[in-house]
Structure 1
Amino acid sequence: MLDIQADAAPDRRPTIVICAWDTDETGWDPVEDLSGVAWNPAGARTVPVAGDDPETLAGTLQAHLEQRGCRALLLVGRTGHGESFRVQMRAENRVLNGSRRLDDTGPGVARATAPVAEIVEALTDAGLMAAASSESEPDAGSYLLYCILSGLPDGIDSPAIALLRAPAAASDAAMQRAVKAAAEAIARHLAPLPRYHSP
């Protein structure tokens, strides 16, 4: 008798971690239906991470990015600026309350590694007003973005890290559409995982 489990090909799709950092955020639900299975874009699979205390969450997200196959992180939250979705391109080296530098030896600014222009285009194609922003907002989202980016090891194979902000008044449906569009844009830039052979 054939062992179907053993004969199944390994999943070579890269992983995108999606995290809505605010514990009160209800706009992004990774499970679309009663199956309980998280939504996935073509060519990648998603791992949802729930919001938490920012310092704890930073460690959780860094641990995910250290796992083999994890190639991207999409942070999701809100903005108080305007009525457009914003893709934040950078984060400043500041503690949560903004009173001082987070890391005395770290760079003053860390830049997102995800394809920002393609994400903005995907949001626009999904019927949403969207723009890229260089403004670092003083909240947990910017704190997490800086922590994650500054903690990446040096090298050309860095994961794609992005921060998507929805307008405060955006509906849950618009948030869902935006997150999916952003994740799909990121997924298009991710290569399948290499084949791993057991020793």
Structure 2
Amino acid sequence: MLDIQADAAPDRRPAIVICAYDAAETGWDPVEDLSGIAWNPPGARTVPVAADDPDTLATTLQDQLEQHGCRALLLVGRTSNGESFHVQMRAENRVLDGTRRLDDTGPGVARATAPVAEIVQALNDAGLAAAASSESEADAGSYLLFRILSGLPDGIDSPAIGLLRAPAAASDAAVQRAVKAAAEAIASHLSPLPRSHSV
């Protein structure tokens, strides 16, 4: 008799953590059907993380990024600036309410490591108006982006970390399309896991 469990090939797809950080956000649902299985882009697997208060969420996301096989993080939120999707390229060193620096000795800004140009192109190809933005909005998204980027260890294998912002009036269907397009663009830059890190 064959041992199906032993014969199954290990999953060598890198993981992308996707987190809609606002508990009121209804646009991104990682589970598309009754199977209960999260959607995955070609060549990668997604790890959905639910919204929480920003400090707890920052710790949770940092923990996820330390897991073997986790190569990317896509934060998903809304923008109050304009009617197009934005891929935020940087975040300022500010506390959540924006009144002072979060880290007195840290850099003034942290830059996203996700492939911003490719994400914008993928959104446009999906029929969604999108642009890269260097404006850091004073909200939980910018706070999380800075905390996570500034907490990365030095090294050449930094994970791809980005923040996708949907316009306030965007429908749930448009947000779903945008998140999938962004995740697919990120996944296209990720290589399979080495055999020693298979999960």
TM over 0.5: yes
Could you tell me how far apart the structure 2 residues matched to 1:154 and 1:38 are?
31
Query: Residues 11 and 104 of structure 1: is their aligned pair in 2 closer, same or farther, counting only changes over 3 Å?
Result: same
Residues 111-167 of structure 1 deviation map (CA, whole Å, 9 limit, x = unaligned)? 000000000000000000000000000000000000000000000100000000000
Q: Would the aligned equivalents of 2:71 and 2:190 in 1 still touch at CA under 8 Å? A: yes
The residue aligned with 1:108 is 108
The residue aligned with 1:196 is 196
Could you tell me how far apart the structure 2 residues matched to 1:27 and 1:115 are?
22
Identical-pair percentage = 86
Could you tell me how far apart the structure 2 residues matched to 1:59 and 1:149 are?
12
Could you tell me how far apart the structure 2 residues matched to 1:38 and 1:99 are?
38
Stretches (4+) displaced over 3 A: none
- SS class of match (2:100): coil
Could you tell me how far apart the structure 2 residues matched to 1:55 and 1:23 are?
14
Could you tell me how far apart the structure 1 residues matched to 2:158 and 2:8 are?
29
The residue aligned with 1:38 is 38
Q: Give the unaligned 5+ runs of structure 2.
A: none
The residue aligned with 2:166 is 166
Could you tell me how far apart the structure 1 residues matched to 2:157 and 2:106 are?
20
- SS class of match (2:47): strand
Q: Which amino acid aligns with 1:77?
A: G
How many matched pairs?
Answer: 198
Q: Would the aligned equivalents of 2:68 and 2:197 in 1 still touch at CA under 8 Å? A: no
Offset, 1:39 = 0.2
Q: Give the TM-score, by structure 2 length.
A: 0.98
Could you tell me how far apart the structure 2 residues matched to 1:110 and 1:62 are?
15
Q: Give the unaligned 5+ runs of structure 1.
A: none
Q: Would the aligned equivalents of 2:31 and 2:37 in 1 still touch at CA under 8 Å? A: yes
- SS class of match (1:149): helix
Offset, 1:170 = 0.1
Q: CA RMSD in A?
A: 1.0
Q: Would the aligned equivalents of 2:94 and 2:100 in 1 still touch at CA under 8 Å? A: yes
Q: Give the TM-score, by structure 1 length.
A: 0.98
Residues 76-128 of structure 1 deviation map (CA, whole Å, 9 limit, x = unaligned)? 00001100000000000000000000001111000000000000000000000
The residue aligned with 1:26 is 26
Query: Residues 18 and 37 of structure 1: is their aligned pair in 2 closer, same or farther, counting only changes over 3 Å?
Result: same
Offset, 1:197 = 8.1
Could you tell me how far apart the structure 1 residues matched to 2:2 and 2:49 are?
36
Could you tell me how far apart the structure 1 residues matched to 2:130 and 2:145 are?
19
Could you tell me how far apart the structure 1 residues matched to 2:197 and 2:70 are?
18
Could you tell me how far apart the structure 1 residues matched to 2:120 and 2:186 are?
11
